Amino acid sequence: MESEELLKDLLAIPRSAAFNRVRYIGQLMDETEQTEFIKGLFAKAVESREAKNPEVLFDFLETWEEKGMAAAAERARAPFELGAAPWSPLNAPINKAKVALVTTGGFYVTGDEPFITDGPENKGDHSYRVIPRTTPADKLEVSHLHYDLSGPREDRNCVFPIDRAEDLVKDGVIGSLADTYYSFMGFIMNPELLAEETAPKVARLLKADGVDAVVLTAT
């Protein structure tokens, strides 16, 4: 096995693990940086044990997590010029408005195709999933490698507030809810496909459904 392949294999984060920004070291950094990280990791593990202080190791990992996030941010820059955000005024009082939820949390209904969390050349997945408003919590899954999934797996409302939206209708805060919500997987390294294809399509679907306002929940 070539050294580059070996390093990537060593730095692969289990998909079942909670989000850890260290994964960006294996995905985005070069061989020199990856080697530096592994050598430092062994050294800090020994130092941490001898000092009986796990913070030594934790601090080292956090430093490299920040480097990984910086590398990811650099690659995630939009490859096209962003214009002014379009503005659409709310044409109905909020307590009369029809509201829909859209999330970038990577949710999908059990049985549907999961999002591709590491697409070709790590460009992500710009597709979307339809989420019926009445989907039970035990039929809603999440596919995402770029944030800690322990929260939404325990309570979907911390990222995708389906149940809280129902409460707002019952309390008269908002008028009604759309029957259909939409979900994206927010780690999209090729955002022009989102901007040109799927986002406009979802916007048209929401408009056709008579939605007055959308709550976009990020991660």
DSSP label at residue 19: P
DSSP string across 169-189: HHTTSSSEE-SEEEEEBS-BS
Are 104 and 209 found together in one domain?
yes
Q: pTM score, two decimals? A: 0.75
Are 128 and 213 found together in one domain?
yes
Q: Hunting for tokens 């009082």 — which residue is that?
A: 93
**What digits encode the pLDDT tens for the residues 77-94?**
666 676 777 778 888 999
Q: How far apart are CA 180 and CA 216, in angstroms?
A: 14
Q: Does the structure show a pLDDT above 50 at 187?
A: yes
How high is the pLDDT of residue 120? 47
Are 64 and 128 found together in one domain?
no
Are 69 and 110 found together in one domain?
no
Residue 211 CB coordination number (10 Å): 19
Report the run of H or E that residue 132 belongs to, with start and end: strand 128-132
Please check whether residue 25 lies inside any domain of the structure: yes
In 137-168, which positions are buried (b, 16+ CB within 10 angstroms) versus exposed (e)? eeebbbbbbbbebebbeeebbebbbbeebeeb
**What digits encode the pLDDT tens for the residues 121-144?**
556 688 999 999 999 999 999 988
Are 128 and 200 found together in one domain?
yes
